[in-house]
Structure 1
Amino acid sequence: MAKTGQHQRPIGDGDEVAFQKKDRAGVRKQDFSDALNINSLMDIMSILLVFLLVSITSDPWNVKQNQYMQLAQSTVDRDPQDSLAILIDKRHIVVDEEETVPIACTTQGGRQCRTDDDYAKEGNRYFIDKAYKEDSEESSFLVTKLLKTLSDEFEFAKEVHADLGREEPFKGITTIICDRDIPYRIIADVVYTAGTAGIDQLRFAVMRDSRR
Structure 2
Amino acid sequence: MAENKDLSPDEIAGQGKTGAVDEAKVEDAQERRKKRLYDEKLQLSITSLMDIMTILLFFLIISSTTDPLNVIQTAAMQFATSTADVSPKDDSIPILITRRHIVLDNKPVVAVSCTVDKAECTDQDFERLNQCEVKPLDEVCKKEFRFEVDKQDKEKSDPNSLVIEPLRKELDRLVKQQIAEDEALGRKFKGVVTLIADKEIPFRLLMEVIYTAGKVGVKGKGGLSQFRFAIMKTGS
Both structures adopt the same fold (TM-score exceeding 0.5): yes
Stretches of structure 2 that go unaligned for 5 or more consecutive residues are 1-57, 130-140, 217-222
| The one of 83, 96, 111 aligned to 2:119 | 111
| The one of 184, 194, 208 aligned to 2:203 | 184
Matched, 1:95 2:109: no
* Contact 1:57/1:97 (8 A) holds in 2: no
Letter in 2 for 1:160: E
Quote the offset at 1:66 in angstroms.
1.3
The residue number in structure 1 matching 2:232 is 207
The residue number in structure 1 matching 2:52 is none
Structure 2 matches for 1:1-212, cutoff 5 A?
56=65, 59-60=68-69, 62-82=70-90, 83-107=92-116, 109-113=117-121, 115-120=122-127, 121=129, 122=141, 123-166=144-187, 169-197=188-216, 198-211=223-236
Letter in 2 for 1:203: R
Letter in 1 for 2:159: E
Quote the offset at 1:84 in angstroms.
0.7
Quote the offset at 1:118 in angstroms.
3.3
Letter in 2 for 1:100: V
* Contact 1:176/1:204 (8 A) holds in 2: yes
Quote the offset at 1:58 in angstroms.
6.6
**Comparing 70-79 with 182-191, which one deviates more in the overlay?**
70-79
- Alignment partners' CA distance in 2, 1:204 and 1:119: 22
SS for the counterpart of 1:202 is strand
Letter in 1 for 2:126: Y
* Contact 1:59/1:81 (8 A) holds in 2: no
- Alignment partners' CA distance in 2, 1:95 and 1:193: 13
The residue number in structure 2 matching 1:21 is none
- Alignment partners' CA distance in 2, 1:180 and 1:160: 33
Quote the offset at 1:78 in angstroms.
1.1
- Alignment partners' CA distance in 2, 1:165 and 1:93: 31
Letter in 2 for 1:134: E
The aligned length equals 155
SS for the counterpart of 1:68 is coil
- Alignment partners' CA distance in 2, 1:181 and 1:57: 28
4+ runs deviating over 3 angstroms = 118-122
Compared with structure 1, are the counterparts of its residues 112 and 57 closer, same or farther at alpha carbon in structure 2 (3 Å cutoff)?
Answer: farther
TM-score of the aligned structures, taking structure 2 as reference length: 0.62
- Alignment partners' CA distance in 2, 1:184 and 1:57: 30
SS for the counterpart of 2:210 is helix
Stretches of structure 1 that go unaligned for 5 or more consecutive residues are 1-48
Quote the offset at 1:112 in angstroms.
1.6
The percentage of aligned residue pairs carrying the same residue is: 40
Quote the offset at 1:111 in angstroms.
0.9
* Contact 1:70/1:180 (8 A) holds in 2: yes
